[in-house]
Chains A and B, each alone.
Chain A
Amino acid sequence: MLGPQQSSFVMYDEEFQRISAVIEKLLRESNAKVIFLVDKNGQLIAGCGETDNLDTTSLASLTAGNIAATGGLAKLIGEKEFSILFHEGEKDNIHISIVAQRVILVVIFDHRSSLGLVRLRVKKASDELAAIFEDLSEKAAEMEKTGNVDSPFAEITDDDIDNLFS
């Protein structure tokens, strides 16, 4: 997540719990329906709220595509990025923002909330999330430096891989 040199983006239990706590708080405080955190490549990191009837994988991929396309537009007019996108629907609205230039925070809300409230709460939650992702990247850098990369894939065999396709 820090650039193409790094081969994988790793999420640990501890940070996942912290992230979940922040977005759950945001969900309550902003009266939102659903909240997602997606990485810029379209992988879903975490989500909370009324997610049962939602295709979260597609949502994550389209959000990342949306941010990528908007980022391309921004560059064309000399902006670094557009850090906030807002889509207004008849019932539901989507507020999309970039956290710490790395991850995408998606808030879906209806008439029970308002754009102003969502913006306000998102701003505070973004700072908290940014701190967690900072810790996460320090952790990853530390692991890399000490060579202590505890990958579950170090031990896989050709048979393991072949079995996936059987």
Chain B
Amino acid sequence: MSFINYASREINCKIVYYGPGLCGKTTNLQFVYQKTAPDAKGKMISLATETERTLFFDFLPLALGEIRGFKTRFHLYTVPGQVFYDASRKLILKGVDGVVFVADSQEERFDANIESLENLKVNLEEQGYELEKLPFVIQYNKQDLPNCTPIEELRELLNPEGVPEFTACAQTGDGVFETLKAVAKLILLELKKGGAGA
């Protein structure tokens, strides 16, 4: 749920990166953090285990600039991808404005992607959301690896609705900003729709 503050003339939105364990959600945020001008970003917080697996969430606040005199801020969160952290994932989805599903394109993670996407739908429904009605984009990550499932196959199973999709290699940053821009744009369009009384 976006937060429109007339007193400070700010608008805050929450974007959640979802996906199976080790698919590259944190790497996406790290790349955004590295490539963003210091005045446009806050501190990146990672609540991770000693082995650098996300334990609760990563958090990165971004200030994009002004629209119609309102400062536009996006709060980027990742969820812990490992299956057994489901209780934590549910908490992070609270108040979400847009979702990025990061798929791991490697063949051996094909089933993990499907399981994670199903889990996303279930967890959203528990909070009263429907994925189909939320700003939602998909990123096919790890395209640089040799053992990728063909895009057509990934698309057929993960993106039957035809939401915006991007191929990516989060390690080098390919596709990272394209993905972020797409979801941010969908969120702002949603706000516009809401404002028009739709």
Contact = CB atoms under 8 A, between A and B. Distances in A.
Is B one of A's binding partners?
yes
Interface of A: 1, 3-13, 16-17, 39-43, 45, 55, 57-58, 61-62, 65, 68-69, 71-72, 147, 149, 151-156, 160-161, 163-165
Contact of B3 (A43, A72, A153): A43
A12 B57 contact: no
B194 A65 contact: no
A1 B1 contact: yes
B155 interface: no
B4 A8 contact: yes
Contact of B5 (A1, A16, A40, A71): A16
Nearest to A15: B7
A65 B197 contact: no
Interface string B155-198: 00000000000000000000000000100110011111011110
A61 B61 contact: yes
B94 interface: yes
Given A65-B91, A154-B195, A7 B67 contact: no
A152 B4 contact: yes
Contacts of A156: 67-68, 188, 191-192
Interface of B: 1-8, 11-12, 14, 42-43, 45, 47, 56-57, 59, 61, 64-65, 67-70, 72, 75, 87-88, 90-92, 94-95, 127-129, 181, 184-185, 188-192, 194-197
A149 B193 CA distance: 11
Nearest to B88: A69
B6 A43 contact: no
A161 B185 contact: yes
Contacts of A10: 3-6
B135 to A, nearest CB: 11
Contacts of A1: 1
Given A58-B45, A153-B68, 15 more contacts: A5-B128, A8-B2, A8-B191, A9-B2, A40-B94, A41-B94, A42-B75, A43-B3, A65-B47, A65-B59, A69-B56, A151-B196, A161-B188, A163-B65, A165-B181
Q: What does DSSP make chain B's interface, helix, strand, loop or mixed?
A: mixed
Contacts of A9: 1-4
B91 A7 contact: no
B112 to A, nearest CB: 24
Contacts of B185: 161
A4 B129 CA distance: 7
B192 A58 contact: no
Given A68-B94, A151-B4, A8 B72 contact: no
7 contacts: A5-B128, A10-B4, A10-B6, A11-B5, A11-B7, A45-B3, A69-B91
B85 to A, nearest CB: 11
A17 B7 CA distance: 8
Given A11-B3, A11-B6, A58 B91 contact: no
A163 B45 CA distance: 28
A12 B7 contact: yes
Contacts of A152: 4, 11, 67-70, 195
A6 B87 CA distance: 24
A61 B45 contact: yes
A151 B69 CA distance: 12
A42 B7 contact: no
B59 to A, nearest CB: 5
Contact of A57 (B5, B61, B128): B61
